[in-house]
Structure 1
Amino acid sequence: MIIVHTPSDGGEVERFDVKTVRSSEASRIATHLTEKMSWPETKKALADEDPDAMRCVAFVLKCRTSPGLRLGDFDPMVADLAVRLDRKEIEDWAEVAAGTIPLIDKPELVQMQTSMIIDEADDKDHARLVVERLLAGKFPPDLSGATPDPSSPTAEESTNSEVSSSGSSLTSSTSTDEPSTT
């Protein structure tokens, strides 16, 4: 999960990757929450976009770069905070969906589900790509019995230096386990 802080006053958008929370930070988060939630409860509250949970996690992660920051100084409007799915969470969703979408006989229901997952993604371009592959029946990739193409260069032999056009955020992985389509 990624907490996205988009200040309504036009300030810089900040992204906080929940997967990077350290144990000591999880303890600190729990002490800041009025409900004194455990870490699993906090993660569930984040999935529900609980404002206290989003604020406290974002605050503790923001303290990494602003150690003198006080909780009272970080009080964004609720509408300025959102929880988005990271690239791995999108791929995990697609793995499950790959088994269930073929069973759905209403195209409008599939369209609604795939639109929702794209809306919930932090990296919408990646989510669109995953959904396209899913709907084309190419997700997850079938690697069983795959034989490498002898004409394809190995990772060590590859000299491709093209710049990625991915719009991925700095907090999400830019590498994929997907086979190259070029």
Structure 2
Amino acid sequence: MQTASLSRRSFLRGGMRAVAPAVRPPWARAEAAFLAACTRCDACIDACPTAILLRADGGFPGVDFSAGAGECTFCGECVAHCEPQALVRSAEGGAPWALKAGVGRGCLAESGVECRVCGESCPVGAIRFRPRLGGVALPQLDADACTGCGACFAPCPTRAIAMTVDRVANEFPTESER
């Protein structure tokens, strides 16, 4: 889902551009509930040991996998420091978010160049390379094993990795269920 950027600067420049919504920190409430609860205090940003959290549009925290260590370790420090409860771990211990990695067309292996950096960077082994006759091994993503940590994103030399919201896994509890 894309929305139009309604920032004052964008409006004055005449640029109503379509932007994808920011990726929120792990264990963020549903977007509307998150925006209502978040006070933009930066406590989660300051607490992130891998420094992937930053101020996104509107001053709300967002995730940038190309910043800091480039991955989320799911340590929970952002949740522990979030006093307004915009970030809340569910009692069931569900997934921290619905992000999953995806390998796009810019992949070097798709072009016949040997590259396995995404698979080597994946801490859970969700990206594997199976041998193939007559060419280099192509990446295969095990979506069930992928945690969406982003460790594969920053090291990719062609930015062929995309972090997207998994529609099936994006079934977070509503405000009334928490």
TM over 0.5: no
Q: Which has the larger radius of gyration?
A: 1
Shorter-normalised TM range: 0.3 to 0.5
TM-score (norm 2): 0.33
TM-score (norm 1): 0.32
